[in-house]
Structure 1
């Protein structure tokens, strides 16, 4: 009988110890929002997957803040690329008392959501939103780790004229904040060429016959599209069907491994740019990440996963340096962070834009994306 009492007491003590240990471990909530449904769902899910890998790596390493082990959890929401759904997702995460937010994926949802995070004092890092408006609203909580559209669109415009020899250019955008922004900056950068057409569609359109018939009559040698790869693929298919032989160009939303399949072939027809650029010294780390990503999800990295991964890591590095996951305490540290990520060095200017952001230009050959050059 006495042995039973002793066993029961030991069991109670052990259970109490476990409970105390669990109570002692701080839970840090990282929010993530992307378009994981709709035409860009494959890119939104990749963004989320990259953030999730970072959270799992941090937990596996026993990450500590102020000497105490913490457990990170990822609270993921889908905004479908819709601003209204994006603000609803943002408010839901704020109400859940997240410690930081990675996202949103699209500029059109990042911009309105950023006001909600700012009002709540929650740091936000986007791994993919490139509209200059996002970081130029006066919100000290907004950061991004890729170059913005001023650089992306402007660089593509200069490249179209100086390297591709474009003289007559047609421009189409999808009316999203991202699409309009990158198209506007492309036009600014394409000095020396004639803009023979400015057309627009939507990010859910599938028939571009009227736009392309009008453009065909103007005989451009290059068509620039501001939008995402799902629409770009259909657009390029219809350009070929109508006999438009112009070169096709776009920003990072277009510049994916999926484009050849979506377009029915992109070899020699497309030049695009991705925000970010990997120098030879960083290639090994990115290749290792891509291999781990493929092993985990059975998917190839397209664009955003490594940037979302780095966004989480930069944010948590600021928490460690500040010795706190309290947004008010680590926010000023994040603004001054210097973090070496797998995508390159991460630090921010006074607006929250990445310093010295790089771009990578790509073409397509044998159904695969081929690097042209990295520019800064």
Structure 2
């Protein structure tokens, strides 16, 4: 009897061992601002990846004869380039070969060098054109670039809003500078007058001097190359100073955080350009929003769907390659196409999306509301 128990126990242990042997653990890295003023975006992006991983683990895919189990390693890069490089090295040392992020262009540019040298695949929403000008073959932008975001906002301002006199404020980050320059270039090409280009930083909260200067120039709109933590207070101060101009921006101010920080100063006077189609009108957009809200008890912010898609895109490429080897998965990403929630992910030789629609948003009840795809 005792011997039977031992034999039974060994058999059970063997079965458990076999079950584990039939499973391959794949570590997925996420890098984003999980603390500080931009943490609302970092946590939202992380939630997008987490939702995808939970779905994939609930219904495992089989690659190379083994079921895949994905494990999320999420790190706080503080929206800081140096911290982002440290995060990259930490994820690499942990055995990560697939990364979703970083969120910020200023972090993505130096971190991408570290990931590239280690043979890690990186999918980022960082929009500065320099990210994909570096020649890295395992780097993908899963969103529109600054040239698309800034220029489409300028085109909309000229053609639809019929504006003539505008100004630009940029926060001197890689993102802010990039998107502001693209707006300015297209604004001039579209016949608008750029009456000023002012500078701030991504820690500032007082814009009185800049806004007073622009008020005197009677500008009809101010384009902010910067983030919601500056955009919200800027909208408030524009209202307090009687600056009767629209506040325009890129994807990073297309967030509910703008309304939380700007209050009733954020409404139809604020317009922004975000990469991707209108989520409510996308085929699987409403379903994604419902799943996200059920899981995290809040609405998705700007890029949750893109980060979800990035993770699902990796899993799809692993299935096609029948491998979790980064080089083989990368070959599938380079030649393939994946239809996600926020867009169809097919890339050119630089790693940019071949097609990335841009949606113009405004605000109602302090929430971003899609106006049109442009």
Deviation (angstroms), 1:77:
0.6
Secondary structure in structure 1 of the residue aligned to 2:8? helix
What TM-score results when the alignment is normalised by the length of structure 2? Answer: 0.96
> 1:88-127, aligned counterparts within 5 Å?
88-126=86-124
Gaps of 5+ in 2: none
Which deviates the most, 42-51 or 334-343? 334-343
Deviations 1:111-134 (A, max 9, x none): 1110011111111111x2111111
CA contact (8 A) 2:263 2:366 kept: no
8 Å CA contact 2:279–2:285 kept in 1: the answer is no
- Structure 1 residue 167: Cα displacement: 1.5
Q: What does residue range 55-94 of structure 1 map to in structure 2 within 5 Å?
A: 55-94=53-92
After TM superposition, the score normalised by the length of structure 1 is 0.96
Structure 1 residue 12: Cα displacement: 2.0
Q: Residues 8-65 of structure 1: CA distance to partner in whole angstroms, max 9, x if unpaired?
A: 2201220132123213311111111011111110011000110011111111111111
Deviates more, 1:176-185 or 1:339-348: 339-348
Q: RMSD of aligned C-alpha atoms?
A: 1.3
Q: Which residue of 1 aligns with 2:142?
A: 145
Separation in structure 2 between the aligned mates of residue 108 and residue 102 of structure 1, nearest angstrom = 16
Instruction: Please tell me whether the aligned partners of residues 226 and 250 of structure 1 are also in contact (alpha carbons under 8 angstroms).
Output: yes
Residues 1-376 of structure 1 mapped to structure 2, 5 A cutoff: 3-126=1-124, 128-191=125-188, 192-265=191-264, 266-278=266-278, 282-283=282-283, 285-375=284-374
Q: Distance in 2 between matches of 1:370 and 1:342?
A: 18
Give the whole-Å Cα distance in 1 for the aligned partners of 2:203 and 2:280. 38
Deviations 1:129-184 (A, max 9, x none): 11111111001111011110111101111111221122111100111111110000
Deviates more, 1:241-250 or 1:338-347: 338-347
Which consecutive unaligned segments of at least 5 residues does structure 1 have?
Answer: none
What is the alpha-carbon distance in structure 2 between the residues aligned to residue 67 and residue 5 of structure 1?
Answer: 35
Secondary structure of the corresponding residue to residue 161 of structure 2: coil
- CA positional deviation for 1:219: 1.5
Moved over 6 A (4+): none
Aligned residues: 371
Q: How far apart in 1 are the matches of 2:295 and 2:39?
A: 18
Counterpart CA distance in 2 for 1:337 and 1:253 is 29
2:352 counterpart SS class: coil
Q: What is the deviation of 1:279?
A: 7.5
Report if aligned partners of 1:212, 1:239 keep a CA contact under 8 Å in 2. Answer: yes
Query: How far is 1:367 from its partner?
Result: 3.0
For each residue in 1:52-106, what CA deviation from the matched residue of structure 2 results, as whole angstroms up to 9, or x when unmatched? 1111111111111123211110111110100000000001111111121110011
Give yes or no for contact 1:278–1:344 (8 Å, CA) kept in 2.
no
**Equivalent pair of 1:236/1:263 in contact (CA under 8 Å):** yes
Conserved in 1, the CA contact under 8 Å of 2:122 and 2:138? yes
How far apart, in 2, do the equivalents of 1:294 and 1:202 lie? 33
Paired residues of 2:255 and 2:367 also in contact (CA < 8 A)? no
CA drift of 1:339 comes to 0.8
CA distance in 2 between counterparts of 1:343 and 1:319 reads: 20
* Aligned mates of 1:194, 1:278 — CA distance in 2: 30
